[in-house]
Structure 1
Amino acid sequence: MTHLITPVNLLIAIVTLGVGTVKAVAARHKRDWTLRLTASVLITAGMIFLLAAPTVYRAVGTLTHSPNLSALLVPSATLICVAHAHALSQLWREDRRDPASLRRTAARWGPFYGSAIVAMTVLYFHAPLGEAAPLRFAAEYAPVPEVVAFHIVYWIALITTVVVTVRECWQLSIPGRPDFVEDLRRCIGYFAVALGFDLVNVLLTAIALVGSATGAHSGRSFAESAWLATIASCVAANMALASLVLRSRRAERRDKRALQALHDLVVREDPTVASNPHVLFAPRWSLWTGFDTSFELAIVMTQIHDGCGRLSPWWSPLPSVAVARLYAAEPPQGTPSKGRPDDVWDLTAAQAAATLLHAAQARGEAQAPYPPQVRLSRLPGSDIEIHEDRQHLVLVAQHLSHPRVLRAVDLAGQAQSVGRAS
């Protein structure tokens, strides 16, 4: 099995280290803790598979004059990976993302992880070990008390953190748009499976340790098979990260397309400026970040907010009132989850869309700005939570062509014309 595992380990190590490096470079630009932890856990996981490859295992032992040093480095790095997953589970919880909560979590769990790794290090260097035993360390040195204690410390630390992290994942209460919540829950499910395979590794290694200590010949086979569980854990963890990234990127591209109509409405091109704001809607490729849709989407949203602010001198309360009256007369039956514009309905988003349409028309007709006393001071929906801003803007964009919104804008224009005539 060693000949089969070696190329598999090296392949996984190369791919994981490569992706982790790309994520690390991207994290330098975005300065996001979740992205940084993702990059760190990928690089650490890649090092685990690299060190566990029998060829590298022996080479590290030869260079350091400690033939089984990788048997210490691999479980230590595994605990660091699980600690990363634990930290990610905290960042996914809105009530624990603030710096004070994160510091409390680090102060509580940091000594636990650190003491486990220190204890394993002391036991390893105190143990009378001989020649290298890649993938069979537990079975080969089962009679050594320090090796038994080494694995017990590792298992206690790993099982504790896995159970705590899985419990945290399943107790998550995730705010935000339903599609993102569903994507994140699928990612968490893959993470739970990955951590479960780590427990399978513990079980198989324990069987190998006990079997070898009692003289059974199957200990080596179980020790090698335990690494298959680690490979499965890595695959599941990478599926979790890849699933979230791909689904998030697809949603970002969809929302960017949906926001183009709103962007076109509120962002007025300045002929004196060489850059064209609509270039943002053309896909761009970056060597380090791929199609950086999240960055471009953030720019689009920023420009939309700026454009809405520039329309504020023409914010009239009439379109919002007209939308409310039409809604009261005939409440729509659709929901915001449906795709056709005439099926999408959200009262606040509809009022914002009507207000912006009316304001853009007034500015386009070169009307004088409205006096402050008759002008809306705040756009409908401006008091929403930050994590709901993107979903709200998409809904506003979808309502721009809604029949009721268009009707409300017409009614507001008629009322304004009557007011000016009188």
Structure 2
Amino acid sequence: MSETTSTIVYLIIAVSEIGIVLWKGAALRSDPTPTLKVTVSTFVCSATVYVLAAPAVYRALGTALGQPSFATLPVYVGILCCFAHTHGLTLLWDPHLRERPNALRRSLISWTALYALAAVVMATLFCTADLSGPADPLRFNTLYAHDPLVLAFLLVFLATLACGTLSTYRRCRQNRLDDPVLQHAVNWFARAMLCVFGYVLCATPAITAASLGSHALDQVGVFGSTCGATGALLAGYGLSGAAISAWWRERRDRRLLQPLWDLVVAGVDKDLAISDHSVTSRPLWNSGFRLHRGVVEILDGLRILGPWTSPQLVRSVYSLHQQQLTAPQPATPLSPKELESIATAAAIRDALPRLQAAQQAATSAQSRPPAGGSAASLPGVDTPMWQERERLLAVAGALTHPLTAAALAHAQGEESTGSVSDR
């Protein structure tokens, strides 16, 4: 890439990572866990590196300080710092090390000391070297490789980077985590480490050749920088990609639950809403908290509505489905979970008008439910809390299912027949 293209690309990446820092920082206020703190710190470090590595900024900083290539030092130390963070996260996520806190602490201290020592040695060598020549942000490695101090500086950098990336890759391949978000991050970390090691494989021969006076492999070294940038992007995606997907699913699920919320919260008792903004508020942050709050509100509404439901209507859903299966043109069989969701949706739609009529007729909203009704009349009341989100999503989707409408029509028909016979 040319310097102009590199500047544009690096600054775009830096801006995107600053956006992730703001997003993760907001989450950090409500969930100040060590791993999230390390994640935010990683993106801060990475954004800083990309800003300083942008050729236009690189040259401007060198001009301001009177040392054209000065930005190389914070960029290279920053790169080590970024991958030290990544390495640390894989250690924190390792299930075997988490079972042995002392071993985890020793590993973190040892690797942190190694990265810190490398940074100190690099800073000492860099500040001692003669870098008074012209700056070349994309070819610093090969431009100054003839200087023994710069060569030592580069060797320390590459050796530390190689050890860190290979160790992180090995641990990523070994880790098998129960949390799919963390496993997603670990899988992408492994890919990122391979790309970064590709930078080491490209830079080493280019620097070696340049130190011997040959610049035939300079372009290989430049390509190595592309490998390193790709690895950094993959690591960033590992840290944010799954979280962004989870955020998107949370907002989607909150929208899908809205019809059910309207029925069993707004339709039963608006005081069940924890906040006045439960319906209209759709902020970009705290989507997980707002989704969980909506699930709790719906469950509270179902507990009030449960005694007003009809066990006969629930049974009619299953009998109607059996009739559809034995019809001349049989319907597609539904799974037990689907039938349970449809039965719940039909029971909710059937019970709500009765509850609302009783509330309007009574002086108190604490109206007496019909005889025979109980909270257990609704299917799925014994669902574990961690599965309620999926269950309620299925119920919300079943509110407009044809079998739901058929069960309600069947119940209304029986009710009309009963009224006629009573006369």
Fold agreement, TM-score > 0.5: yes
Deviation of 1:346 after TM superposition, in Å, equals 1.0
CA distance in 2, matches of 1:249, 1:392: 19
For the pair 1:228 / 2:226, whether they are aligned, the reply is yes
Quote the residue 2:161 is aligned against.
154
Structure 1: state its 5+ residue gaps: 176-180, 337-343
Residues 6-39 of structure 1 deviation map (CA, whole Å, 9 limit, x = unaligned): 6246514641453134214421454275765554
What is the TM-score with the length of structure 1 in the denominator?
A: 0.71
Tell me which amino acid in the other structure corresponds to 2:228. Answer: T
Quote the residue 1:340 is aligned against.
none
Deviation of 1:322 after TM superposition, in Å, equals 3.2
Quote the residue 1:303 is aligned against.
297
Number of aligned residue pairs: give it: 390
Quote the residue 1:396 is aligned against.
395
Q: Please show how residues 193-232 of structure 1 align to structure 2 within 5 Å.
A: 193-218=191-216, 220-232=218-230
* Alignment CA distance shift 1:17-1:149 (3 Å): closer
Quote the residue 1:351 is aligned against.
343
Deviation of 1:236 after TM superposition, in Å, equals 4.2
Q: Is the 2:165–2:193 contact (alpha carbons within 8 Å) kept by the matching residues of 1?
A: no
Q: Is the 1:322–1:408 contact (alpha carbons within 8 Å) kept by the matching residues of 2?
A: yes
Tell me which amino acid in the other structure corresponds to 1:255. Answer: D
Q: Is the 2:310–2:373 contact (alpha carbons within 8 Å) kept by the matching residues of 1?
A: yes
Identity among equivalent pairs (%) = 21
* Alignment CA distance shift 1:211-1:233 (3 Å): same
Question: Which residue of 55, 62, 78 corresponds with 2:59?
Answer: 55
Tell me which amino acid in the other structure corresponds to 1:26. Answer: A
Deviation of 1:155 after TM superposition, in Å, equals 0.9
Q: Is the 1:82–1:162 contact (alpha carbons within 8 Å) kept by the matching residues of 2?
A: no
Quote the residue 2:316 is aligned against.
322
Question: Which residue of 306, 310, 313 corresponds with 1:312?
Answer: 306
Tell me which amino acid in the other structure corresponds to 1:268. Answer: A
CA distance in 2, matches of 1:334, 1:229: 52
Deviation of 1:161 after TM superposition, in Å, equals 0.5
Q: Is the 2:206–2:215 contact (alpha carbons within 8 Å) kept by the matching residues of 1?
A: no
Residues 302-328 of structure 1 deviation map (CA, whole Å, 9 limit, x = unaligned): 321221122233245433333344445
Quote the residue 1:131 is aligned against.
130
Q: Please show how residues 367-386 of structure 1 align to structure 2 within 5 Å.
A: 368-370=368-370, 375-377=374-376, 379-386=378-385
Residues 103-122 of structure 1 deviation map (CA, whole Å, 9 limit, x = unaligned): 68853642353133133135
Tell me which amino acid in the other structure corresponds to 1:117. Answer: Y
Quote the residue 2:44 is aligned against.
43
Deviation of 1:201 after TM superposition, in Å, equals 1.3
Q: Is the 2:203–2:224 contact (alpha carbons within 8 Å) kept by the matching residues of 1?
A: yes
CA distance in 1, matches of 2:253, 2:7: 41
Tell me which amino acid in the other structure corresponds to 1:161. Answer: T
- Superposition CA RMSD, Å: 4.7
Q: Please show how residues 64-75 of structure 1 align to structure 2 within 5 Å.
A: 69-70=73-74, 72-75=76-79
Deviation of 1:86 after TM superposition, in Å, equals 3.0
Tell me which amino acid in the other structure corresponds to 2:167. Answer: T
Tell me which amino acid in the other structure corresponds to 1:266. Answer: V
Tell me which amino acid in the other structure corresponds to 1:162. Answer: Y
Residues 192-243 of structure 1 deviation map (CA, whole Å, 9 limit, x = unaligned): 5544322221211222233234443245544443222233334445566675
Q: Is the 2:77–2:119 contact (alpha carbons within 8 Å) kept by the matching residues of 1?
A: no
CA distance in 2, matches of 1:255, 1:102: 38
Question: Which residue of 352, 370, 376 corresponds with 1:360?
Answer: 352
Tell me which amino acid in the other structure corresponds to 1:31. Answer: D
What is the TM-score with the length of structure 2 in the denominator?
A: 0.71
Residues 126-182 of structure 1 deviation map (CA, whole Å, 9 limit, x = unaligned): 6474134755565434745853344323211112203432554xx56667xxxxx9x
CA distance in 2, matches of 1:78, 1:59: 26
Tell me which amino acid in the other structure corresponds to 1:51. Answer: L
Deviation of 1:3 after TM superposition, in Å, equals 3.5
SS state of the match for residue 311, structure 1?
helix
Deviation of 1:47 after TM superposition, in Å, equals 1.5
Residues 73-123 of structure 1 deviation map (CA, whole Å, 9 limit, x = unaligned): 2232231342366379x49xxxx59x9659688536423531331331353
Q: Is the 2:46–2:78 contact (alpha carbons within 8 Å) kept by the matching residues of 1?
A: no
Structure with higher Rg: it is 2
Q: Is the 2:195–2:228 contact (alpha carbons within 8 Å) kept by the matching residues of 1?
A: yes
